[in-house]
Amino acid sequence: MSLKGKKIIVAATGSIAAYKIPHFVRLLVKAGAEVQVLLTASAAGFVSPLALSTVSGRPVLADVADGATWNNHVALGLWADAMVIAPCSTNTLGKLANGLCDNIVCAVYLSARCPVFIAPAMDEDMWHHPSTQANMGRVQAYGNHILPSEYGELASGLVGMGRMAEPEHMLQMLAKFFTTDRPLKGKKAIVTAGPTYERIDPVRFIGNFSTGKMGVALAEALTEAGAEVNLVAGPGVQAPHGKGITMTAVESAHDMYEAVMAHAADAHIMVLAAAVADYRPETMATGKIKKSDTGLTLTLTKTDDILASLGKIKQPWQTLVGFALETDNELENAAKKLNGKNADMIVLNSLRDAGAGFGHETNKVTLLTAGQEPVTLPLQSKRDTAKAIIDHMIQIRHAEETV
């Protein structure tokens, strides 16, 4: 089975559905997985730590520190190939959605670089409450996978939604995740993300409002498709989740240019999502520029054009994807960029689209490729947008390889 040799963390929280977890752990072990169980204090009231230790073959961890031993949550987050939070109570769901960290489950979750699967378990009215649904939306927007609740008999005696997925169903969903075809397995990719800062003096810079969220989502989507990714990130970009991503932090456009060009020769895929400054100050003052009554004149010079530079050296086996953020004549300007810089695809962002562009959790883009009609994607999460972009890119690669 596809779970053979996989390292799985099973984290149980305070729900009556925890009584099913020994069976789930046993199924994982029979499938060949190594399982480490975590328990919250309330979960231990529903299921025996001794039973879980017996079926997993490992001591159950119930706290970050037990007095004599530190259970290294960071190391656990790096060790695992997947983390399954099951059952995930309403209380824990709220903590995950808001970044709270008061137990070992939350600490490992916040440290995990592996895919995280969440199996909600609660009564029907709690499931349908707007706050629960809002928290579900938030944890999904963070890139977590949901093992959907099922319809059935609940602990309250009601029949409805909120029942934790059965252990056999959770096993099947995990196995499917690890057996999904990874079309980019063995491929190397470069992704750029975030802004660049072009220094005026030691305390001031020219920059933009990019957060790098789109670039990070693209890096994660590429790793899910099997690629090994080097993420070249500007200032303020948060580290991505997922194994297979190496992050290189840079500050200026020239820094980013050098970091990208250093790896370009070996990259099968290059996705330039960063908002790179087009101009930088011709000289940087060595000391802080003092305010004066006469104003300040800056002489600017062009920065390195990373997309154009890669387009000039691109090999037939390489795929180059650029981004275009436009406010006027959007399609026309994006098409010029596609053709003029020898890119295989341009992802067009329009600042005229509500909910798209810098700072949002959502995005709306149009994909331009040579010889094809533009494809406009709906407004959706940046994670879903990234997956759609990578899927479209894979289709282009496949079409070119079969010609």
List pLDDT tens digits, range 81-100. Answer: 999 999 999 999 999 999 99
Same domain, 284 and 388: yes
Asked whether residue 205 is marked as a ligand-binding residue, the answer is no
Band (pLDDT 50/70/90 cuts) for residue 193 is very high
Closest CA relative to residue 169, chosen from 117, 221, 108: 117
In whole numbers, what is the pLDDT of the chain averaged over residues?
90
Domain boundary among 179, 207, 233: 179
Share of the chain above pLDDT 70, in %: 96
Q: Is 24 annotated as a binding residue?
A: no
Helix (H, G, I), strand (E, B) or coil at 174: helix
Start-end of H helices in 314-381? 330-340
Evaluate whether residue 154 is within a structural domain.
yes
Q: Evaluate whether residue 223 is within a structural domain.
A: yes
Domain of residue 232 covers: 188-402
**119, 144, 179 — which closes off a domain?**
179
Is residue 403 predicted with pLDDT exceeding 50? no
Three-state secondary structure of 144-172:
CEECCCEEEECCCCCEEEEECCCHHHHHH
In the predicted model, is pLDDT for residue 349 greater than 60? yes
> Could you tell me if residue 1 is inside a domain?
no
Q: What is the pLDDT of residue 195?
A: 96
Query: Tokens 């001794």 correspond to what residue?
Result: 50
Write b or e for each residue in 28-40: b if 16 or more Cβ atoms lie within 10 A of its Cβ, otherwise e. bbebebbbbbbbb
Q: Is 208 a catalytic residue?
A: yes
Residue 341 among known ligand-binding residues: yes
Q: Is the pLDDT of residue 19 over 90?
A: yes
Phi, psi of 199 (to 5 degrees): -70, 135
SS3 label, residue 325: strand
Look up tokens 């602990």; give the residue: 155
Question: In this structure, is residue 252 part of a structural domain?
Answer: yes
pLDDT at position 310, please? 97
Domain boundary among 128, 150, 179: 179
Tell whether 227 and 311 lie within a shared domain: yes
Domain annotation covers residue 261: yes
CA distance 175 to 143: 19
Q: Are residues 173 and 196 in the same domain?
A: no
Is 314 annotated as a binding-site member?
no
Helix (H) or strand (E) holding 139: helix 130-141
Q: What is the 3-state secondary structure (H, E, C) of 84-138?
A: EEEEECHHHHHHHHHCCCCCHHHHHHHHCCCCEEEEECCCHHHHHCHHHHHHHHH
Which pLDDT value is given to residue 140? 82
Read off φ and ψ for residue 162, nearest 5 degrees. 120, -10
Taking the C-alpha atoms of residue 106 and residue 73, their distance in angstroms, rounded to an integer, is: 9
Q: Does residue 62 form part of some domain?
A: yes
Q: Mark whether 33 and 125 lie in a shared domain.
A: yes
CB 47 within 8 A of CB 62: no
371 and 264 in a common domain: yes
If asked whether residues 193 and 318 sit together in one domain, one would say yes
Do 220 and 173 lie in a common domain? no
Share of residues in the chain with pLDDT > 90 (%): 66
Q: Do residue 125 and residue 219 come from a single domain?
A: no
- pLDDT interval class at 299 (50, 70, 90): very high
Note whether 143 and 240 are same-domain residues. Answer: no
Q: Is the same domain home to 170 and 258? A: no
Annotated catalytic residue, options 72, 91, 208, 333: 208
Residues 236 and 370 placed together within one structural domain of the fold: yes
> Which CATH number does the domain housing residue 369 bear?
3.40.50.10300
Max mean pLDDT among 157-166, 326-335, 347-356 falls in: 326-335
- pLDDT of 352 > 90? The answer is no
In a domain, 331, yes or no: yes
For residue 2, tell me if it sits in a domain: no
The answer to whether residues 228 and 308 belong to one domain is yes
Rounded to whole angstroms, the Cα distance separating 204 from 198 reads 9
Residue 358 among known ligand-binding residues: no
pLDDT at 233: 96
CATH number at 134 reads 3.40.50.1950
Domain count, the chain: 2
